[in-house]
Amino acid sequence: MEKQNIEAILKDLGVKPVNSGATTGSSQGWINTTGKELVSYSPINGEPLAAVRQAGSADYEAVMAKAQQAFVKFRMMPAPRRGEIIREIASALREKKETLGALVTLETGKIKSEGQGEVQEMIDIADFSVGLSRQLHGLTMHSERPFHRMYEQWHPLGIIGIITAFNFPVAVWSWNALIAAVCGDVNLFKPSSKTPLTAIAVQNIIAPVVDRYDIDGVFNMIIGDRNEVGDPMLNDKRIPLISATGSTGMGIKVATSVAARLGRSLLELGGNNAIIITEDADLDMALRAVLFGAVGTAGQRCTSTRRIIVHRQIKEKFTAMLVHAYGQIRIGHPMADDTLMGPLIDGQAQINMMKAIEAALSQGGKLVYGGGPITVKGLENGSFVTPALIEAENHYSIVQEETFAPIMYIIGYDSFEEALRLHNDVPQGLSSAVFTRSVKYQEEFLSHRGSDCGIANVNIGTSGAEIGGAFGGEKETGGGRESGSDAWKIYMRRQTNTINWGDELPLAQGIVFDVSGRTHE
């Protein structure tokens, strides 16, 4: 993409050559930060896009003070009214979908359709949140005591801390911030240091809506290092919930720090997702799902397909189909319409991928296809690789890990019972799938002794979840749930209420405790 086109995209989104690293959400809410400069480099060509002046401790305190002040007012706004605000945010995102999607591509290396799809996901979650604003319902229960009424209701928590990863720089923010907003919460957004510009662009897009409704301090963003911003967020008792997306190692730090102050954490961590392919599966359909799952976002999704567990009866045939299909994958500039795979996020990701391949081979694996850095003409400094196919065994230590790169391990099985054991025998538990025509295999996969993941699909791949269902996983994936269903409840506190509308004061469980000397009939 030519330099003037990149400049036009940045200008349209209000991204300057050097940007402030903190805002309280409105067009006037940008803070004049004076910290170290953080440069955002495009993984496509290794060239700088723009820079951010990072926030420091004083900036953090200024943003937190504004957030606290905003929460006192915002929580009293009726939820349907908050939904109207989110509806207008959705409209603002629709207007900027093309340019924001382009910036996602420039800053992450996602192909054009994936960048646009990420913004569409934001719009979809906004629409979902608007409807949710009229459905924050509790329960009514029968009391065991006469002339009593019991019910439960939900109240907003307060300030929600949102820490995101580079691979979904804006969609994951929307999952948390927009649903939390209709719940009456305010948020503090800390984006990945690898993708700060998309976060700045989002704040610029929503700023007119924030101004129009006078809700400065509801949608806050701060960019800074671990010492000045990251750790203070984790240890701040003013933030009752930290929602964090990233590696399992990062999640352990978040969970222990937040738990030490008895706060809540919502964790979306690593995945080691597998697809079981049975002997009766539609192989053409399975092939398409495996390709997108393994190669989409250059294998840098938490839901990326890392393992295929295929029946030995069809393993050789399906492997040959994969090798042929991998040879057709067009790798190049992600803004080109015919590109199917862009670059990894940076050079370190390339190194990590090569180390993982080396480890797999040293542990007994066989490289079937790809697995090396490549140079794309005109993009010599980009972080491009060929996706790798490796025949392996599930117990290899490297197979038990999540490598954030397009590496897929091919594992054979003989019985469906063995396939399920192999599938579940990893520390992570995010997404899973089976391709089969058998109702028996399908139901076994979805049963109590089937997939142990938070997401289990039949004849659909592991990647590309809809926003209507709760998203998240088990085991080392962290146990969090975001997006659809009743995931909104994590952003609220539950309160049980009992009302005595009679003239007596009976106690529960038939307890008698009367110091007045009166006798009850």
Place of tokens 């795979």: 341
Amino acid at 248: T
* Helix intervals (H) in 243-344: 248-260, 283-295, 312-326
- Find the angle CA(405)-CA(301)-CA(11) to the nearest 5 degrees: 105
* Catalytic hit among 107, 268, 476, 482: 268
- Alpha-carbon distance values, 469 to 112, 125, 407, 487 (Å): 25, 11, 27, 9
Q: CA distances (Å), 158 to each of 87, 185, 310, 366, in order?
A: 21, 5, 48, 52
Tell me, what DSSP letter sits at residue 201? H
- Phi, then psi, of 175 in degrees rounded to 5: -55, -45
Which candidate, 278, 286, 318, places its Cα nearest to that of 462? Answer: 286
* Catalytic site includes residue 391: no
Taking the C-alpha atoms of residue 434 and residue 129, their distance in angstroms, rounded to an integer, is 31
> Is 453 an active-site residue?
no
Q: How many CB atoms lie within 10 A of CB 287?
A: 17
Per-residue CA distances from 511 to 151, 236, 507, 514, 516 (Å)? 22, 42, 6, 10, 15
Exactly one of 118, 302, 453, 476 is catalytic; which is it? 302
So which residues are the catalytic ones? Answer: 268, 302
